[in-house]
């Protein structure tokens, strides 16, 4: 019997990728035959790391995850889902604030593109972690070593490298 491969897409800006993101990937890859981590752009956010660098970081972090691929995309997530023949979008939830936003997005995606969304609760220790907060801590000169429970070591190294290359806190980075 030939069974159809079930693919899902986990979209985000992943700027920077956090241990919360990795937690959702590891949980999501158990639910689907193939999970695509899709790095997109959000026009409402200022990027800290260029998309090519985020792609490199996430590919490195997920190098041993056999059924996970990582790619970048432009445009609407539902367009990528349809192009890849995926059956669902995977979204991570940290708290009720996330739920309000994600619920609206999921209903819209289903209404306009007939795409289902699967929600995965992140581990409770990552319930307050967000890339926006990480960017703010980094931009305002926070101690990056204090982020070891929230970020993979590779990402902390990249943040330190970025800070050194800018000679001080990321003054030009906006955290909106």
**166 catalytic per annotation:** no
**29 catalytic per annotation:** no
* Whether the Cβ atoms of residue 101 and residue 130 lie closer than 8 Å to each other: no
The upper half-sphere exposure of residue 68, i.e. CA atoms within 13 Å in the direction of its Cβ, equals 23
Check 29, 54, 131, 135 and give the catalytic one: 131
pLDDT for residue 171 = 47
Check 6, 45, 84, 110 and give the catalytic one: 45
Enumerate residue ranges in the chain where pLDDT < 50: 167-169, 171-176
Helix (H), strand (E), coil (C) string for 82-150: HHHCCCEEEEEECCHHHHHHHHHHHHHHHHHHCCEEEEEECCHHHCCCCHHHHHHHHHCCCCHHHHCCC
| Segment (H or E) for 54 | helix 51-61
| Segment (H or E) for 33 | none
Nearest residue to 24 via CA among 33, 7, 12, 16: 12
**Residue ranges of domains in the chain, CATH in brackets:** 7-127 (3.40.50.620)
pLDDT for residue 165 = 81
pLDDT for residue 2 = 59
C-alpha 95/C-alpha 19 separation (Å) is 16
**60 catalytic per annotation:** no
Rg for the chain (alpha carbons), in Å? 16
Instruction: Taking each helix axis as running N to C, give the angle between helix 51-61 and helix 153-165, from 0 to 180 degrees, rounded to the nearest 10.
Output: 150
**158 catalytic per annotation:** no
Check 21, 29, 91, 158 and give the catalytic one: 21
C-alpha 94/C-alpha 126 separation (Å) is 7
Check 29, 91, 94, 158 and give the catalytic one: 94
Give the global pTM: 0.90
């Amino acid at each position: 019997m030939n069974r159809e491969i079930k693919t899902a897409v986990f979209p985000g800006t992943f700027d920077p990728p956090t241990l919360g993101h990795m937690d959702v990937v590891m949980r999501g890859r158990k639910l689907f035959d193939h999970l695509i981590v899709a790095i997109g752009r959000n026009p409402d956010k200022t990027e800290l790391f260029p998309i090519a660098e985020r792609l490199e970081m996430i590919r490195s972090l997920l190098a041993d995850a056999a059924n996970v691929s990582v790619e970048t995309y432009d445009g609407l997530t539902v367009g990528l889902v349809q192009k890849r023949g995926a059956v669902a979008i995977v979204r991570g939830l940290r708290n009720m604030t996330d739920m309000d936003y994600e619920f609206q997005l999921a209903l819209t995606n289903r209404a306009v593109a007939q795409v289902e969304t699967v929600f995965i609760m992140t581990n409770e220790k990552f319930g307050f972690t967000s890339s926006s907060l990480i960017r703010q801590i980094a931009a305002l000169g926070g101690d990056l070593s204090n982020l070891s429970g929230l970020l993979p070591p590779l990402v902390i190294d990249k943040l330190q490298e970025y800070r050194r290359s800018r000679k001080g806190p990321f003054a030009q980075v906006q955290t909106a």
